[in-house]
Amino acid sequence: MTFRRITPLLLAACCAAVPAIAAAQSTKPAKNIIFFLGDGMGPTVITAARIHKNGEDGLLDFERLMERTARIKTYSLDYQTTDSAPSMGAYMTGVKMNNDVISMKDARPVEPTKEGVDQCKAGNGSAAVTILELAKARGKSVGSITTTELTHATPASTFSHVCSRDAAYTIAQQIVPGGAGYNPALRDGVDVLMGGGRNHFTPHDEATNPKGRPDGRDLMAEFAGAGYYVAGTRAGMLSARPGRKFVGIFSATSHLDYSYQRRPEQPTLAEMTGKAIDLLSANPNGFFLMVEGGKIDHALHDTRAKHALEETVAFDEALALAVERMRAIDPGLENTLIVLTADHDHTMQINGYAKRGNPIHDIVRDYATGQPKKDADGKTFTTLVFGNGPNRPDARTDVDSVVAQSDDYHQETGVHKSSETHGGGDVKLYATGAGSAPFKGTIENIQVFQLMKAAAGL
């Protein structure tokens, strides 16, 4: 059997015709692009979330509202199984990158300092232009919102360029207009920013902010000095008005809460999405907005399937709100392209021939009797399991139905690892609106950038 290695040159060749194809099927550039990224939302997660929300014969809102579908290959430049940094970088720049690298072409990953400061040296790659930067250069408003820390790999890949996704303190300073280390390709600044991780933007204080910035800078104050409306709560976000840039960081030292335990001072992803559209759509030149449901991935790494499904439902609600809001602004989505996809898969699987109608995160029950099924050793087991992860007992015992459906249950795993890993399988993409027709077939993740770029005429 002969294997053909796909090099960066071949990748470039395969995608060279994509803009021409897109242009041939769209007579008018899309004025607005909204890119939804469900972190870790592989095909099994979509199926399980669909059953969890609407049953086996139902649909999630994005399956119902998005007409175009495609299958996306996710491998990075150096790994069969990607991490979030190069996969999101591929979508945002059209360049295959090494694992851990944030929107840098031909860069090797370099560990940051223990304080989270980038250690990328001259000659180790170069900044790859992001679609957010291209949109900004055309006079559009731009935004990046997430349920993770604002400096996390997915949002960072829209506006930052570093050799390690862990260089959070460097990533933070790259988005503060006029400050040291600012990314000048952002021009007068990203117009809307929302997420968690305020410690990356505020000074270190051993008593009150031990994970704060080691350089002592108060980037929140610098944002305010640059004209931003700055908020730390849901109420503050809701009070923001068009005509002024906005940054909302709703968690002091980490990511935002899981949906089921969200504190009232934190907005939902749907609320963040709606506010971002309100603020960005005031620009007559249009806008680019990235929306990440990042906690899907966190729940999967922790083998908490129920959390992952709830986070996927919350992500789905954000998409539904965006489509509704944009159809009111732009009837027929004649000037708006909406794309929804995932950056990578995970190892969660649906197994065991469960009875139809059985809760997807419950133990497997027999169709005829409704009684729990047993494995080869006579033990009950759950419908959802993981290929690897932390919850692998030395000897299996029965899984109780009440325990399996609880909020804090960790599904069992095959290979024992401290944390569940990403999966290397393809992911699904959904698209609707202006320029969505070419999103079809099985395509490289870097082609998604080319298709969005062509659709918007950037």
> Which residues does the annotation mark as catalytic?
84
State how far the alpha carbon of 219 is from the alpha carbons of 116, 157, 179, 394, in Å.
Answer: 15, 19, 9, 49
| Listed residue (270, 293, 246, 28) closest to 141, CA to CA | 246
How many CB atoms sit inside 10 A of residue 443's CB? 21
The tokens for 142 are 């731009």
- Taken in order 131, 132, 134, 135, the sign of the CA dihedral is positive
| Listed residue (372, 390, 368) closest to 381, CA to CA | 372
Secondary structure class of 224 (helix, strand, coil) = helix
Answer yes or no: are the C-beta atoms of 414 and 392 closer than 8 Å. Answer: yes
Q: From CA 39, how far away is CA 455, in angstroms rounded?
A: 24
The tokens for 70 are 């495609």
Q: From CA 48, how far away is CA 426, in angstroms rounded?
A: 17
Answer yes or no: are the C-beta atoms of 4 and 260 closer than 8 Å. Answer: no
Return all residues near 67 (Cβ < 8 A) that are at least 6 apart.
431, 432, 436
Secondary structure class of 229 (helix, strand, coil) = strand
Q: From CA 343, how far away is CA 145, in angstroms rounded?
A: 16
Q: Is 115 exposed, middle or buried (0-12, 13-18, 19+ CB in 10 A)?
A: middle
The tokens for 50 are 């669909």
Return all residues near 386 (Cβ < 8 A) that are at least 6 apart.
300, 303, 346, 347, 348, 349, 411, 412, 413, 414, 420
Answer yes or no: are the C-beta atoms of 129 and 185 closer than 8 Å. Answer: yes
Kindly state the DSSP code that residue 200 receives in the 8-state scheme: G
The tokens for 229 are 């409306």
Residue with tokens 């489509």: 323
Any idea what the Cα angle at residue 19 is, between residues 285 and 136, rounded to 5°?
30
The tokens for 180 are 């040291």
